Amino acid sequence: MARFDTVVKDGLVVIPYVGQIKMDIGIREGRIAALEDRIESTDASELVDASGKVVLPGGVDTHFHLGIYRDMAQDTESETTSSVVGGVTSVVSYARTGQHYLNKSGPYKEIFPEILERCAGHARIDYGFHLAPMLSEHIQEIPWLVNEMGVSSFKYFMFYKGFNLASDSRDAQAYTMSEDYDLGHLFEIMEKVAEVNATVPGRISVSLHCEQAELLRVFIERAKADPRVSGLAEYNAARPPLTERLSIEEAGVLADATKVNLNLLHLSSELALKTAMEVARRYPAMDMVRETTLHHLALACEDLEGKGLGGKVNPPIRDRSDNEALWAGLRHGLITTVASDHACCMEESKGDDLWPALPGFGGTALLYPVLISEGMHKRGIPLSRIVEVAAAAPAQAYNLYPRKGTIAVGSDADLAIVDLDLEQVVTTEVCHSAQDHTPFEGIAVKGWPTDTILRGEPVFRDGEVVDGNRGEYLHRSAQLVGA
Ligand SMILES: [Zn+2]
């Protein structure tokens, strides 16, 4: 009998925090069972030839919105299919009560099992959830969510306050279906999360969308009245980096007071990153994750001018100088994680009118390709750094490491086998998402996965999606760490 179910042979293996090593990977029962200089072909039931390619840990895309604008089961299937194209084998999706998603409110004791039920059997890859406590009763549910349901991260939206800020045409209370959704509510979320964190070995954390509501009100009115700006440039002017700065400062004060683990999501600008670093230096003991997205790294307002509203997103697409500041931050460790913030949003939901257009778009198919093409090929960022920000660090931040996010004996055999020289122009067809447009359209990208392996079995083989929904719910409870 063969020693291994599958052997990935002759690839250059990239291990986060270690580097690149030429070796073979032996897989047994879905896990990595051996890393050896050379494993004989006769020791393998299945052989995957990785010669001339690099083998990366499967991407861990921890900013995702399964089912935000479409039926949850359908969206889970189509959008996790898109993930395998980008070498992603785990997603952690946001969910909340209020408008969109299930479009209702109520306790998570009722809502969360319904979300899980709707996704079950529809995911191509493994998936977990971050939840947003929208009601004060949700805060009381945090210990149960952590200990019983495997949810270890909780989101707060700094800008759902006052008048509506999702599109500015409806009021925030109707949108969130909550009552006191303000900094007092955030403070109580942080207190509860810190309290639970002290009782478990894992990392329980609060994730923040940082834009400041009152400043948005002023800048949105000014942008609307300014005839010189339109389209995505108008949107950028309406939600400038100053609103991120103030919101990060507010968050820093509260996180320091409560000693909570903090995740600053989708930092979009040079000013946002600079502010996050100022807060980190001011409070050296603070555990802070600093995330950016593919689109904030790779897309600029200047380049999307005249190309419609497909790139409308919160926070907005910024300028080329912001792209470069974020790439520099990624290189030097100031940016700690990169995610797609994938939200499948059809062209008809964008339309021609800036303000009612729904925010968000997909990008998970580009996670490794854009990081490799724009990061490694164009800017010389080493692959070892890329696997840290796209796999290891997000897995660590959200209680999935070392089961996910690395290549080690005992880890799940989640791998992306990448041809660094394969070049493709981004189209909707290449992305395999249900989304019928992409703001990345037309960009030439070099470095694509040819094969993606989930727990030892191919989900993407020779550039083709493999049928079957083998994805399992990721129970991110503290007990699972190191299991
Ligand atoms: Zn998001």
Render pLDDT for 311-341 as a digit per residue (tens, 0 to 9). Answer: 999 999 999 999 999 999 999 999 999 999 9
Residue ranges with strand state E in 159-203: none
261 CA to centre of ligand 1 in angstroms? 19
Q: Which residues contact 396 (CB under 8 A, 6 or more apart)?
A: 203, 405
Does residue 471 register a pLDDT over 50? yes
Residues 309, 354: Cα–Cα separation, whole Å: 7
Q: 410 phi and psi, to 5 degrees?
A: 100, -20
Q: Would you place residue 479 in the very low, low, confident or very high pLDDT band (cuts 50, 70, 90)?
A: low
Q: What string of DSSP letters covers 364-408?
A: GGGHHHHIIIIIIIHH---HHHHHIIIIIHHHHHTT-TTTSSS--
Q: Which tens digit of pLDDT belongs to each residue from 373-403?
A: 999 999 999 999 999 999 999 999 999 999 9
**Mean pLDDT value across residues 24-53:** 97
Among 77-81, 173-177, 184-188, 285-289, whose mean pLDDT is lowest? 173-177
pLDDT at 166: 47
pLDDT at 169: 45
221 CA to centre of ligand 1 in angstroms? 24
210 CA to centre of ligand 1 in angstroms? 11
Secondary structure (H, E, C), 438-455: CCCCCCEEEEEEEEEEEC
Identify the CA nearest to 135 among candidates 172, 171, 189.
Answer: 189
Cβ atoms of residues 256 and 286 within 8 Å: yes
430 CA to centre of ligand 1 in angstroms? 22
37 CA to centre of ligand 1 in angstroms? 41
Does residue 287 register a pLDDT over 50? yes
Amino acid at 307: K
**Mean pLDDT value across residues 197-202:** 92
Mean of pLDDT over the chain: 94
Does residue 50 register a pLDDT over 60? yes
Does residue 41 register a pLDDT over 90? yes
93 CA to centre of ligand 1 in angstroms? 9
H/E stretch holding 431 reads: helix 428-431
Does residue 163 register a pLDDT over 60? no
Q: Would you place residue 171 in the very low, low, confident or very high pLDDT band (cuts 50, 70, 90)?
A: low
188 CA to centre of ligand 1 in angstroms? 22
193 CA to centre of ligand 1 in angstroms? 20
Express as a percent the part of the chain with pLDDT over 70: 96
Does residue 164 register a pLDDT over 90? no
340 CA to centre of ligand 1 in angstroms? 8
**Mean pLDDT value across residues 173-196:** 88
Q: What string of DSSP letters covers 306-332?
A: TS-STT--SSPP--HHHHHHHHHHHHH
Other Cβ atoms less than 10 A from the Cβ of 414: the count is 32
4 CA to centre of ligand 1 in angstroms? 40
Q: Which residues contact 367 (CB under 8 A, 6 or more apart)?
A: 59, 61, 83, 86, 87, 88, 294, 338, 339, 340, 390
pTM of the model: 0.95
Express as a percent the part of the chain with pLDDT over 90: 89
Cβ atoms of residues 115 and 76 within 8 Å: no
Residues 177, 200: Cα–Cα separation, whole Å: 31
pLDDT at 181: 87
pLDDT at 480: 46
**Mean pLDDT value across residues 183-212:** 96
Using DSSP, state whether 156 is helix, strand or coil.
strand
Maximum alpha-carbon separation in the chain:
74
> In terms of DSSP H, where are the helices of 198-341?
213-225, 231-238, 241-258, 270-282, 294-298, 301-304, 320-332
423 CA to centre of ligand 1 in angstroms? 28
Q: Would you place residue 123 in the very low, low, confident or very high pLDDT band (cuts 50, 70, 90)?
A: very high
pLDDT at 162: 58
341 CA to centre of ligand 1 in angstroms? 5
108 CA to centre of ligand 1 in angstroms? 20
Among 169-173, 267-271, 382-386, whose mean pLDDT is lowest? 169-173
pLDDT at 159: 86
